[in-house]
Amino acid sequence: MNGDAGRPARSAGRGAAAAGSDVRTGLILALETSCDETAVAVVENGRRIRSNVIASQVAMHAATGGIVPEVAARAHLRWIVPVFDEAREVAGLADWAAVEAIAVTQGPGLAGSLLVGINFAKTLAYIHERPLVPVNHLEGHIYAAWLLDPDEPERPAPEFPAVALVVSGGHTFLVEMQDHLQYRLLGQTVDDAAGEAFDKVGRLLGLPYPGGPAIMRAAARATRGDIVFPRAWMGDSYNFSFSGLKTAARRAIEAERRAAGGELDDGTIAALAHGFQESVVDVLATKAGLAAERSGARTLILGGGVAANSVLRERVERRAAALSIPLVVPRPALCTDNAAMIGAAGFFRARAGERAGLALDAVPSLRLVE
């Protein structure tokens, strides 16, 4: 995370959020508004979910076939208070003294959307005199692997060293973690993110927004596997590239349309979706497996919205099983954007002493690793 605007201003009177005494209750109140989900959660000790409330804007953005940033920001403004109220109620949070820190996504994301969550978090931190902890959204996707549902039996935390593959709508990268909050970048996309490719190809196929889940459902209906798309292996690197695949898919879709003399039939859409998904999943699973093997990882972590994809989960699981290491992948609803993951990462950041002042600003292009 880069240390610019909003980094510690402890001596600046009102600029310092942590005016109250530090408590170590383990309870983190977390907010996430980086993109199109308004989310608030309460998480205990970086793991146990006490509440996790999400107001999704998906249906609203489906009407425009994608996110209009100003519309997203206004929707956050509309929903942040009711979502917060519900998260507090479900968690049974009556006393602010029980809250160790308030964690909020600082970036990356849409500026106007981030600002709603950040400003709300600042207000809470100021009024209730609790520390304010900025969290990188991508770090949240990794830390979703630590989460436990309210009624889920205890299970050991992911062991280090770990290799994490994060595949979301805006990012695709592989990192190695020797310990908490320490990342070594192994590779990343040189052009489109995997989720972005899913969304664009979904649109070309005439499927509803967002394209990822729609392509997964269409691909599951495929009865033929004769449409095969190229894989961009990027040499021996851990980098990814999906723009060539997107172009190949566009050409194939156009060719099938011409051959059909207009609309694509359902079987062809399914075959195209299947071919596309296979190409993305093959590259992602292969590189994640190789990275885990070569770095001697004891855990493989998969996260981000595209990790909700059942075929990707299964292929990466196979790679991990071949290496006799566990794959930790959150249930699908914890792979897509949520605030519980910010609460998990926020706990470890808070315990590492991370604090932001009340001048905290959004950083739309915040990086996880420099």
Residue 32 contacts ligand KG4 per CB under 6 A: no
Q: Which partner from the list Zn ion, ligand KG4, none does 158 bind, CB cut-off 5 to 8 Å by kind?
A: none
Helix axis angle, 266-294 relative to 243-260, nearest 10°?
Answer: 160
Residue closer to Zn ion (CB basis): 139 or 278: 139
Only one of the segments 70-78, 164-172, 226-234, 277-285 lies at the binding site for Zn ion (rule: CB under 5 A); that segment is 164-172
Closest CA to 139 of 366, 297, 352: 366
* Radius of gyration for the chain, computed over Cα atoms and rounded to the nearest angstrom: 21
Residue 41 contacts ligand KG4 per CB under 6 A: no
Among 46, 107, 140, 211, binds ligand KG4 (CB under 6 A): 211
Closest CA to 307 of 113, 159, 171, 136: 171
Nearest approach, Cβ of 34 to Zn ion (angstroms)?
7
Q: Which long-range contacts (CB under 8 A, 24 or more apart) does 62-71 make?
A: 62/208, 62/209, 62/210, 65/203, 65/209, 66/199, 66/203, 66/209, 67/35, 67/36, 67/110, 69/110, 69/111, 69/112, 69/113, 70/112
Subset of residues 268 to 287 that bind Zn ion, contact rule: CB under 5 A: none
Closest CA to 205 of 134, 257, 260: 257
Tokens 């190809």 sit on residue: 201
Residue closer to ligand KG4 (CB basis): 146 or 198: 198
Residue 309 contacts ligand KG4 per CB under 6 A: yes
Contact map string, positions 157 to 186, toward ligand KG4, x by CB under 6 A? -----------xxx----------------
Residue 337 contacts Zn ion per CB under 5 A: yes
Only one of the segments 185-193, 199-207, 317-325, 335-343 lies at the binding site for Zn ion (rule: CB under 5 A); that segment is 335-343
Distances (CA, A) of 100 to 6, 17, 29, 42, 44: 20, 12, 8, 11, 10
Distance CA 19, CA 355 (A): 11
Residue 38 contacts Zn ion per CB under 5 A: no
Only one of the segments 98-106, 123-131, 252-260, 300-308 lies at the binding site for ligand KG4 (rule: CB under 6 A); that segment is 300-308
Nearest approach, Cβ of 363 to ligand KG4 (angstroms)?
15
Q: Is the dihedral of CA 357, 359, 364, 366 positive or negative?
A: negative
Residue closer to Zn ion (CB basis): 38 or 168: 168
What residues line the site for Zn ion (CB under 5 A)? 168, 337
What residues line the site for ligand KG4 (CB under 6 A)? 35, 168-170, 195, 198-199, 210-213, 216, 304-306, 308-309, 336-337
